[in-house]
Chain A
Amino acid sequence: DTAVSQTPKYLVTQMGNDKSIKCEQNLGHDTMYWYKQDSKKFLKIMFSYNNKELIINETVPNRFSPKSPDKAHLNLHINSLELGDSAVYFCASSQGTGGTNSPLHFGNGTRLTVT
């Protein structure tokens, strides 16, 4: 009965490979997100979808492509992985798109290591 679940938890891969991370939420939330937390622990938003529609797209290399088949799922595909992509990627969801009553609920993270 995990609220926001993402897989895999750990991902170790070589430079140049393509990989995907999957995320699912069973909270009935309308909005889902991908955040990246780098080695300095800085958490930065990458993308946000509301009811399958992209609403936030930060300055992220186009090697990163999110896909939302339905409002309960938001996957992240990364092409041509680079060393600098190594980080922890968090999926999150919220009810609505703003305000004090729309806090984020995070998945437990995917620790990506590119060698």
Chain B
Amino acid sequence: RKEVEQDPGPFNVPEGATVAFNCTYSNSASQSFFWYRQDCRKEPKLLMSVYSSGNEDGRFTAQLNRASQYISLLIRDSKLSDSATYLCVVNPSYGGATNKLIFGTGTLLAVQP
């Protein structure tokens, strides 16, 4: 089992749609979770951290389910500019290794006009 798994997509959605991505992680001791966004041929950029109680930033909502070891990202009212690859990122924090962030392979979102 991969340490971090995501559906690669692509997710093709119309503007204004609501879309959700899920991500599962294998190490139950993982402590920190993030969603990054990567545009084509660009560097990854932090979209949002994921907190245990769930958190929201505008149209974006992140949830963490520790019991089932999955993280989700919900995007409401999709915009054309949301088209990108969304990377699920986990810090397993095991064996003394610090900030060894593990990246999923990403989910490609294409928002259509």
Contact = CB atoms under 8 A, between A and B. Distances in A.
A102 B99 contact: yes
A108 interface: yes
Interface in A60-115: 90, 94, 96-109
Interface residues of B, number: 25
B32 A100 contact: yes
Contact of B100 (A43, A45, A109): A45
Interface stretch (B16-24, B44-52, B71-79): B44-52
A111 B101 CA distance: 21
Interface size range on A against B? 20 to 34
B43 A98 contact: no
B62 to A, nearest CB: 11
Nearest to A56: B100
B52 to A, nearest CB: 10
A31 B101 CA distance: 13
Given A43-B103, A44-B103, A109-B43, A100 B98 contact: no
Interface of B: 31-34, 42-46, 49-51, 85, 87, 91, 93, 97-103, 105-106
Interface of A: 31, 40-45, 48, 50, 55-56, 90, 94, 96-109
13 contacts: A40-B105, A45-B100, A56-B100, A94-B99, A96-B99, A97-B98, A98-B32, A99-B91, A100-B49, A102-B32, A103-B34, A108-B43, A109-B43
